[in-house]
Amino acid sequence: MPPSSRVRPLTFVDTHLHLEELGDPAEVVAQASAAGVTRLIAMGVDLGRSRGAVALAQRYSHVWAAIGHHPEEALEPDLAALDELAAHPKVVAIGEVGLDFEQARTPPPDVQMARLHRLCSLAVEHGLPVSIHNRGAATELAEVIAAHSGLRGVMHYFALEWDWAARFLDLGFHLSFAGLVTRPSRHALREVVKRCPADRLLLETDSPFGNAHKRMGVPNRPAYLLDTAELVAKLRGIRLEELSDLEKTNALALFTRMR
């Protein structure tokens, strides 16, 4: 649909990306805005990059920050420093955090789980949602999430089948869909896209990772969120404008400091 025939402007939120890995942020943010991706949540995977995400959020009005500690990190998270950073008004989430039991170099599961418990406590203390990474650890993630009453958040880059989607939805979590859904072989994931309650659905690029099928081999960018959005709208039988409205509403409801 050409821009002139749109009923109202598209305003999608890229709820999970690694803005620091993308080159010139001014150009990336401008390209995203021009495509209708007007809000970006830059993730922090360690303390340095969390500080970097906050700096980018301070510089660009379209950018907000998440601060976190990726499960692949060898060192312990600096909770005192993260606690201080969490008070910044443009910090909207604790992330990227989670569990990764499949990568070769990740710390042992018990170490990762102990860290995640502390990071979830930090999120609850600050009233912030968590952006959760999962690789081969859905059972343990559900266990950790269930242990923290009042914890809100999103399963980022959701890639599992409906039974797991239902489990995380029951825990009050949102599901964020990325370029993975555009891969034709992902039938079970597309089923989840169709069945996800309208008020729990989010979108992301995870750029520069997680590209859409038609752009495989090209570094991902927040502007390419539209590839995923177009398919998600089609799968759910709604117009792109309706998806834009509901995704923005959901993102603002979860990432409350972004309002």
Closer CB to Zn ion, residue 140 or residue 206? 206
> Per-residue b/e over 41-59, b at no fewer than 16 CB within 10 Å?
bbbbbbbebbbbbbbbbee
Which residue, 152, 77, 97, 87, is CA-closest to 126? 87
Closer CB to Zn ion, residue 206 or residue 227? 206
72 near Zn ion (CB under 5 A): no
Residues within window 84-143 making contact with Zn ion, judged by CB under 5 A:
96
Count of residues that interact with Zn ion, criterion CB under 5 A:
2
Nearest distance from C-beta of residue 65 to Zn ion, angstroms? 13
The secondary element (H helix, E strand) that includes residue 161 is none
The number of angstroms, rounded, from the C-alpha of 252 to the middle of its chain's C-alpha atoms is 13
Nearest distance from C-beta of residue 207 to Zn ion, angstroms? 9
List the x/- string, 24-63, binding to Zn ion by CB under 5 A. Answer: ----------------------------------------
Task: Please report the sign of the dihedral spanned by the C-alpha atoms of residue 96, residue 97, residue 101, residue 104.
Answer: positive
Q: How far apart are CA 91 and CA 166, in angstroms?
A: 28
Closer CB to Zn ion, residue 20 or residue 96? 96
Closer CB to Zn ion, residue 82 or residue 240? 82
Contact, 179 vs 224, CB < 8 A?
yes
Residue with tokens 């569990």: 99
Residues within window 174-233 making contact with Zn ion, judged by CB under 5 A:
206
Closer CB to Zn ion, residue 36 or residue 68? 68
Q: Which positions lie near Zn ion, rule CB under 5 A?
A: 96, 206
